[in-house]
A = this chain, B = another copy of it.
Amino acid sequence: MNKKYRLDGRIWINCGEYPSIGQGKIELLIKIREHGSLRQAALEMKMSYRQAWFHVSNINHSLSTPAVILSRGGKDGGKAVITPSGEKLIDTFLTIQADFEHFLNEQSLKPGLLEI
C-alpha cells in the first residue's frame, strides 16, 4: 500500500492574546506590496476582499507597529502600503520558513520515518 511517508508541518508567529501570523497572511502582505492595493491582492489570492481586510486588521493589531497602512479616497480610490515594520515581518518569516522546510526534509529522510 503505502511505501513512503514524509514529514509535513506548519509554523506561525504566536502573538500572545492576539491572532497568530502564518503563511497565508505573509503571502497576502507580499501581494499587497506588489500591487499597492488590498483589493488587487485579495483578487490574486482568490480571497474575498472582506477576508483580506480582516487579515490586515488582525496583523496590525497583533504587532506593536502596523505592517500595512490602508487609506481610501483619492485619485486611485485608495491604496495599501507596507511599512518598514511590515517588510521586516515578511523577511523574518520567510527566513524562518526556509529553515523549517530544511528541517522537514532532513527528518523525512531519517530511517525512522521510512521504516514505519
Contact = CB atoms under 8 A, between A and B. Distances in A.
24 contacts: A1-B63, A1-B64, A2-B18, A2-B63, A3-B64, A4-B16, A5-B14, A7-B12, A7-B13, A8-B12, A9-B10, A9-B11, A9-B12, A9-B100, A13-B113, A13-B116, A85-B116, A88-B116, A89-B116, A91-B112, A92-B116, A96-B107, A96-B112, A100-B103
Given A11-B7, A64-B2, A115 B88 contact: yes
A15 interface: yes
B16 A2 contact: yes
A6 interface: yes
Interface of A: 1-16, 18, 20, 62-64, 85, 88-89, 91-92, 95-96, 99-100, 103-104, 107, 110, 112-113, 115-116
